[in-house]
Amino acid sequence: MSPEITSIQMFGIKTPIIRAGDDIVQILEASLQDAGIIPVEGDVFVLAESAVATAEKRIVELASIRPGERALSLGEKYGIDPREMELVLQECDELFGGVPGAALTITKGILSPNAGIDASNAPEGHVVLLPADPRRSSKNIRKKLEQRYSCRLGVIVGDSRTQPLRLGCTGIALGVSGFVPVEDARGTFDIYGKPLRLTYKAAADNLVSAAELLMGEAGERVPCVLIRGAPVQMVDESPEMPTISMEGCMYFGNIIKDRKENPKKENQ
C-alpha cells in the first residue's frame, strides 16, 4: 500500500509599494492578474501586517510625537527613539522590560517587541503601527476577495516574531478569517497509538511561518503569499485567535512568579 502523499503550493504575490489609503484588495486583484494566478476554493491568503496597516492609514510621522518623561527614560534605557518609545507605551497592554533596541510588551494579547511597531518598510521618519483590529481586517479582505472570485477563501494578517532563545524570525497570525486557526488534536493518536492529551495544531501560525520564506524581511515587495492545498478546516466566520493566560504560559508563568518573589526587579 502506497503511503499518502500530501503537498501544498505557495505563490508569492509581488505588488507595487502600498501607501496609506490604498485599496489593498484592488492591488491584490491587479497583482494576481499580472502573475496569472486565479484563486480557487480553499486558497489561503497570508498578508503582511505592515501592508494592511499602511493601507488602513496606521502610519505615524515621528516628528509629530512628543515623548513624555517615561518614554524619554525608557528610550534611553533600551536604546529606542523616545518618540517611538512613546508610541510603544500608547499601543501596548503591558511593558515587561527589554534589551538594547527592543522593548518587551504584551500588545493585543500577544508577545510583541516594541508593541509590533515597524520602522522597516515605512517611509523615512515614519513608523507603522499594527492594524487596529487584525481580525476585522482579515474578515473585510476575505469577504471582498470571495465576492470577486466566487469561491471560499481564507485570509491571515500575519507578522514575524522571534522565539525565546532562538535567532531569527518565524511567523505569527494576528487575525484570521475563513478557517479554524488552531485545531484541537487532543484525543488523536501518535504513530504508536498513544492518545495525545495536550496537543493543539497552530495552523494559522504555521502558514504564516511558511509564507515568511517568500515574503522576506527587506525590500522583496512580496506582502502577500497565496497558499494552495493547506490542510485547514474552512469556515464561514472569523474566529478569535485562541490564547492562554500568562499564568498558564510556560514562559510568562515563570516571569510572573519571579516578579512576585522579587518585586524590586519589576520594571516601573
Please give the residue that has the higher pLDDT: either 99 or 249: 99
> What is the total residue count of the chain?
268
Provide the sign of the torsion angle of the four alpha carbons 21, 24, 29, 31, taken in this order. Answer: positive
Give the pLDDT score at 114.
Answer: 95
Does pLDDT of 120 surpass 60? Answer: yes
User: What secondary structure does DSSP assign to the chain, as a single string?
Assistant: -PPP----EEEEE--PPP-TT--HHHHHHHHHHHHT----TT-EEEEEHHHHHHHTT-EEEGGG----HHHHHHHHHHT--HHHHHHHHHH-SEEEEEETTEEEEEETTEEEEGGG-B-TTS-TTEEEPPPS-HHHHHHHHHHHHHHHHTS--EEEEEEEEEPTT--SEEEEEEEEESB-SSEE-TT-B-TTSPBPSS-EE-HHHHHHHHHHHHH-SSS----EEEEES----B-SS-PPPP---TTTSTTHHHHHHHHHH-GGGS--
Q: Does the pLDDT of residue 1 top 50, yes or no?
A: no
The confidence score (pLDDT) of residue 2 equals 40
Three-state secondary-structure class, residue 50: helix
Domains of the chain, first to last? 1-57+131-267 (3.30.1330.100), 59-129 (3.90.1660.10)
Task: Report whether pLDDT(157) > 60.
Answer: yes
Mean pLDDT across 31-60: 96
